Amino acid sequence: MRIPVGILGATGEVGQKFVLNLQEHPWFEIVGLYASKRSAGRTYGKALNYGEETSRWFCAGEPKRDILDIQVGNVDEPDEGIDLFFSALPSEAALDVEGKIAKKKPVISTASAYRYFDDSFVFLPGVNESHAGMIKIQRERRGWKGFVVPQPNCTTIGLAMSLKPIYADFGLRRVIMVSMQAVSGAGYEAVGKWAEQRKIQGIELPRPLEEFIPNTFEGNVIPHIPKEEEKVKRETLKLLGEFDGERIKQASFQIACKCNRVPVLEGHTESVFIETERKCGVNELKESWRKYRGEAQRLNLPSASPHPIVVKDEVDRPQPRFDANTEGGMCVVIGGVESNVFENGFQYTVLSHNTELGAAKGAVLAAEYLLKTGWI
């Protein structure tokens, strides 16, 4: 018998991704879809204008007929009969809604609302399964029967996964990262705006513009994403930190980063520069990544990729149009690994799929692990 689950924020881009990843899941069954008052009371299909010219269904895959026929509930009034909730709510709404539900039921969230509390942890299967004990701390401190487990920021995921084996095998002194992030990371509204810009641009190559227009994605690089760099730094050190039974002691290496938005649809690409504590070579780094397996692989979880990390020997890979969907978008891809002029210094490129591993499918994988290990 499958576990009945609900999706909070089901009509949005990430909510729709949850639908696709859960509608035929072997362990979970969608029985509740929740959204704002504007959509509540209508069927999921009607709320999305599915099949019409004005359809708000964003994804390439298709929802099943029985999912389209589910009546959307008010996000503030979830069904008591649901055992697990997946949240794709905006962070400003998530703090209140997820907290109310967590008094009784577990919540796996893509929002940032609960990432930074002392009694919470960001969960990335393959990196910090040992932090799951924080669920007990959270329950005790808040008097909850359930919990809220948030995912990391999608930009953090590729970096943290690539650092995990290296930190364990060779230690780290410092990390510098420069991101080139896909437009889809800013949401469907940004993708729609980019599409409009491409239509206006036509077949001509993009040329300089005299007037500054915010959020110009076409033919452009935007060298600032609000609050992104602070999120990446905080979450990476927390993910690679140690849980001592009471709290998470963050990792001790130094980290700096600069985040950029580039005209790519899906896939966050990052240039990473590291200094290891212990001496090693390029081939040893590659071997560390290639042999690495997390608990998701050991437990053979349904959404897990065969390899959490895939290494390419080419200096010009990975590239998002060719490599973002490697192993269903559920691994990170590393290439261009080289030593540099710094002592124990190396540089490489890492790519992760921001709307698969970095969003709903990654959250489903987290739920699979927590179910398999008895937390759900």
Torsion of CA 238, 239, 245, 246, to 10 degrees: 30
Which of 257, 259, 268, 331 is catalytic? The answer is 268
User: Can you spell out the DSSP letters for 285-299?
Assistant: HHHHHHH---HHHHT
Rounded to an integer, what is the distance from CA 88 to the centroid of its chain?
11
Structure tokens at 242: 């140690």
Which of 154, 257, 259, 280 is catalytic? The answer is 154
CA distance to 166, 171, 287, 342, 360, per residue, from 277 (Å): 10, 5, 17, 12, 35
Q: How many CB atoms lie within 10 A of CB 205?
A: 7
The answer to whether residues 116 and 38 touch, using CB atoms and an 8 Å cutoff, is no
Among this protein's residues, is 154 annotated catalytic?
yes
> Can you tell me whether residue 351 is helix, strand or coil?
strand
How far is the C-alpha of 305 from the C-alpha of 300, rounded, in Å?
9
Rounded to an integer, what is the distance from CA 11 to the centroid of its chain?
18
How far is the C-alpha of 94 from the C-alpha of 115, rounded, in Å?
11
Q: Which residue in the block uniquely carries the two structure tokens 């018998």?
A: 1
The answer to whether residues 376 and 85 touch, using CB atoms and an 8 Å cutoff, is no
User: Can you spell out the DSSP letters for 183-207?
Assistant: GGGG-HHHHHHHHHHHHHHTTSPP-
Structure tokens at 176: 């510098």
What is the phi/psi pair of residue 298, to 5°? -65, -40
Q: How many CB atoms lie within 10 A of CB 52?
A: 11
What is the phi/psi pair of residue 25, to 5°? -70, 140
Among this protein's residues, is 353 annotated catalytic?
no
Among 39, 41, 44, CA closest to 20: 44
The residues annotated as belonging to the active site are 154, 268
